[in-house]
Amino acid sequence: MRKLEGKLKIAFIVSAAVLSLIGLAFVHSAGSYWGAVRYADSSPFIVKQFIYMVVSVGIAFFIMKSPLTSNEKTWTVVYWLSILLLVAVLIPGIGASRNGSQSWIAFGPFSLQPAEFVKVALIGKLATAVQIAREGKRHIRLKHIGLILLPAGLIMIQPDLGSTVIMIVSAFTVLFISGYPLRFFAFIGAAGISAFIALIAAAPYRLDRIKSYIDPWNDPLGTGFQGIQSIFAIAPGGLFGHGYGNSRQKYLYLPEPQNDFIFSIIAEESGFIGATFVIVLFAVLLISAFGIAIRTEANFPFLIVSGMSSMLIFQTFLNIGVVSGLLPVTGVTLPFISYGGSSLMTTWMAAGVILHFASRQKMR
Cβ-proximal residues to 23 (8 Å cutoff; 6+ apart), any chain = 49, 53, 262, 334, 336, 337, 338, 339, 344
Nearest in space to 22 (alpha carbons), one of 338, 252, 349: 338
Which helix (H) or strand (E) element contains residue 296? Answer: none
Write down the pTM of the prediction.
Answer: 0.90
Which residues share a beta bridge with 74? none
Cα distances from 287 to residues 7, 32, 294, in angstroms, run: 12, 34, 11
| Three-state secondary structure readout of 55-103 | HHHHHHHHHHHCHHHHCHHHHHHHHHHHHHHHHHCCCECCEEEECCEEE
φ, ψ for residue 96, nearest 5 deg: -115, 140
> What pLDDT is attached to residue 203?
65
Nearest in space to 115 (alpha carbons), one of 100, 125, 94, 101: 101
Dist. CA 201–CA 217, nearest whole Å: 23
Which of the residue ranges 100-109, 222-231, 323-332 would you say has the lowest mean pLDDT? 100-109
Q: How far apart are the first and last CA of the chain?
A: 8
Burial string for 6-43 (b: 16+ CB within 10 Å, else e) reads eebbebbbebbebbbebbbbbbbbbbbebbeeeeeeee
Query: Of residues 156 and 21, which shows the higher confidence score?
Result: 21
- Residues 350, 308 contacting (CB under 8 angstroms): yes
Which of the residue ranges 39-53, 129-143, 294-308 would you say has the lowest mean pLDDT? 129-143
**Cβ neighbours, 10 Å, residue 92:** 7
Sheet holding 95-98, edge to edge: 95-98, 101-107, 110-112
Which of the residue ranges 84-98, 136-150, 314-328 would you say has the lowest mean pLDDT? 136-150
Dist. CA 176–CA 52, nearest whole Å: 34
Q: What is the mean pLDDT of residues 259-287?
A: 95
Dist. CA 214–CA 234, nearest whole Å: 19
Which helix (H) or strand (E) element contains residue 240? Answer: none
Q: Which amino acid is at 355?
A: L
Burial string for 274-290 (b: 16+ CB within 10 Å, else e) reads bbeebeebbebbbbbbb
Indicate whether 183 pLDDT > 90: no
Write down the mean pLDDT value for the chain. Answer: 86
> What pLDDT is attached to residue 240?
92
The counts of H helices and E strands in the chain are 12, 3
Indicate whether 142 pLDDT > 70: yes
Which of the residue ranges 88-92, 323-327, 356-360 would you say has the lowest mean pLDDT? 356-360
Which of the residue ranges 51-55, 159-163, 239-243 would you say has the lowest mean pLDDT? 159-163
Cα distances from 171 to residues 12, 24, 165, 278, in angstroms, run: 22, 30, 10, 26
